[in-house]
Each structure stands twice: as structure tokens, then as C-alpha cells.
Copies of this chain bind each other. A is one copy, B any other.
Amino acid sequence: MPTPEVEVLAANESFYDAFSRHDITAMETVWSQRTDLACVHPGWDAIVGRREVLSSWRAILASPEAPTVECHQAVAHVIGDVAYVVCSELLPGAELCATNVFVRESGAWKLVHHQAGPVANRMEEPRPVRVPKVLN
């Protein structure tokens, strides 16, 4: 039986899979339908509310400039039925760092909040090797 951390990391991967495939139906499934949502896209103000958050994703994924994204170095922090993942996002020409908050609803981990922001000076700094930590 998978640990909660493994389940949360799988839900996190589903988010990036929907993002990279520009699949709005999959993206809508990733986000919670019961808990209110929030989202901070890089350089944007906060967006609050399911309708507003999903509208922003529809606009992003429908754009011909919608990027692909790879998630790396994801670490899941599980606190009961809430969890957050901190991970690196690699986009063409940019690296971001992200926080994704999940809630367990009827056994499924659903995304309720996402924030991503740029990592500066990536090309000039050596990349530290990090040991993934699974936390309780």
C-alpha cells in the first residue's frame, strides 16, 4: 500500500502531466471541487476561487505559447489530510520553484493551491545535490 507521501507525489505528477499536455479536462480533475482554490502564477497577483483559478489555467493551456514543464526534486510534506509539495519546475528557458497544497478528499489527493516563482542565477550557480526527504 503506497504511503501518503507517494500518493501526494503521484497527484503532484498528475498536475504537471495535465500542464505539459495542455489538457484542461485533466487539469480540472486535478484541482479540488469541494475546497476553495487559490493560485499564484509567476509574476502574477494571487487568484482566489475555483472559477477564477480554472479560468486562468484555461487561458494558459489554450495559448499557443503554453509551455511544457518538467517537475523535479519534488518533496512531499504530509500533515494528516493536508499536504504540500515543494518542487522545481523546468520550463524552456526558465526554472521555477513551486509550492503545491493538496487536500485528501474521499481518499484522493486534490490540489487546492499552487504558487510558482522564478529561481534566479541558475546558470551561474552550481546545482546542489539534494537528498529527497519523506516527512511525517
Contacts and interface: CB of A to CB of B under 8 A. Distances in A.
A45 B75 contact: no
**Looking at chain A's contact residues, is the secondary structure mostly helix, strand, loop, or mixed?**
strand
B84 A113 contact: yes
State the oligomeric state as a number of copies: 2
Interface of A: 35-36, 38, 40, 42-46, 48-49, 73, 75, 77, 79-82, 84, 86-88, 97, 99, 101, 103, 112-113, 115-121, 125, 128-130, 133, 135-136
B75 A48 contact: yes
Nearest to A83: B82
Contact of A80 (B42, B80, B86, B115): B80
A45 B135 contact: no
B117 A35 contact: no
15 contacts: A35-B79, A36-B133, A38-B86, A40-B117, A43-B117, A44-B97, A44-B120, A45-B128, A49-B133, A84-B101, A84-B113, A120-B128, A128-B135, A128-B136, A130-B136
